[in-house]
Structure 1
Amino acid sequence: MTIPASLLTRRPARQGPAVSLLPDEAELSLVLSRVHEACGPARRTLALWLAARTTGPVIWIAPEWGPDRLHADGVMRLIDPARLIFVHPKRPEDLLWSMEEVLRAGAVALAVADLPGLPGLTPVRRMHLAAETGTQEGQHAPLGLLLTPGTGGAQGVETRWHLAGAHQGKAPGWRLERLRARTAPRKSWTLAQGGAQGQLHIAQA
């Protein structure tokens, strides 16, 4: 049997369509049709950055009993609050079920699940399959983002990112870390916001 040359190469597998946190920054890309993880104290900011890089409605799933809720005035500087559609399940098991169903529908480009803890490996695998189904049968190739507390650690996710504030006086800044990726090493960046229009950019890698 002849083994295809593509299986013998040490190069990473070819990436599919993706959304980048910053324009023209391939290293900060999240592949579509997959589920990713964001953790750290500024994880919701990272989710809103991604939302700003997509179009159309964004489904934001969070527990009904959770104390942390997005506020329209707080997100307005990043995206139009009218794009956010909130889903607040009453039971813990319905959080992951809701995320799976949203991804399977392929009706939105971005779905965010703000979780109080880490999901198991099986639910994450189910969400990957649901996102692939949504890509084939829906209107969008959906990107799923799981927001997890602390330093995260969900098994089976495509990538894991950690975001924390690193402000310098009145100048806003953040430290972004790629903690896990299937085809890329661990890496960190310092991001800043400035310029005439307050655009986000890499200050240091």
Structure 2
Amino acid sequence: MGNAPDLQLAKARVHEACGTARRTMAVWLAARTTGPVIWISPAWAQDQLNADGLRDWIDPARLIFVRPRRAEDVLWTMEEVLRAGAVALAVADLPGLPGLTQVRRMHLAAETGAAEGQHAPTGLLLTPGNGGAAGVETRWHLAPDHAAGPEGWRLERLRARTAPRRSWQIARNNTDRALCIKTA
């Protein structure tokens, strides 16, 4: 995400992204990893991603979509993906907020995956509204900001264990399509 070093997400931890552009943030992060990305969302969700629509950001072949049919299986799947340590990024697109116990289980699973798997996995929970999942390492809010350009966003770090609240204007560079920080 541009050139700001404090926008890195800690590996082997679970983070939260909320706001109307939360899926965009997940795609940004996916583009910065190598290998496959697991994207988990409920089978009944009506706003599923179309991998071909992400071609400007990431090779659609890297995305593996998992669509559990039961609500409890979405978080269970996320936990198992993190525990395996087989991918660098696992995304769970949630219809609501997970409980603290569920988030703690995912942190432990990510730590196990980092120790025993091929990757130190990063977990990203996409939550509706302004988020608020208890126990996450960081919480980010992303929304469109067309003052920064047609492909501009306002990114806010709402919560972090080791960093203060902060916001950035981010835009996509027209030359190489890379993200750049407009203002800090």
Q: Give yes or no for TM over 0.5.
A: yes
CA distance in 2, matches of 1:163, 1:169: 13
- Distance in structure 1 (CA, Å) of the matches to 2:148 and 2:32: 27
Shift, 1:128, TM fit: 0.2
Deviation for aligned residue 1:170:
5.9
TM-score (norm 2): 0.97
- TM-score (norm: length of structure 1): 0.87
Consecutive aligned runs of 4 or more in structure 1 exceeding 4 Å deviation: none
Q: Tell me, which stretches of 5 or more residues in structure 1 are unaligned?
A: 1-20
- Answer with 1 or 2: which has the greater Rg: 1
Aligned residues: 184
Name the SS of the counterpart of 2:146 in structure 1: coil
Taking a change above 3 Å as real, the CA distance of residues 35 and 170 of structure 1, as seen in their structure-2 partners, is: closer
SS in 1 for 2:110: helix
Q: What SS does the corresponding residue of 1:126 show, helix, strand or coil?
A: helix
Q: Aligned partners of 1:169 and 1:49: how far apart in 2?
A: 17
Structure 1 residue corresponding to 2:156, chosen from 174, 177, 180: 177
SS class of match (2:142): strand
Q: Which runs of 5+ in 2 are unaligned?
A: none
Identity of aligned residues (%): 71
1:1-205 aligned at under 5 Å gives the runs: 21-23=1-3, 25-168=4-147, 171-205=150-184
In structure 2, the CA distance between the partners of 1:169 and 1:151, relative to structure 1 (3 Å rule), is closer
Deviation, structure 1 residue 199: 1.7
Letter in 2 for 1:131: A
Give the partner amino acid of 1:155.
A
Larger RCO, structure (CA 8 Å, separation 6 or more)? 2
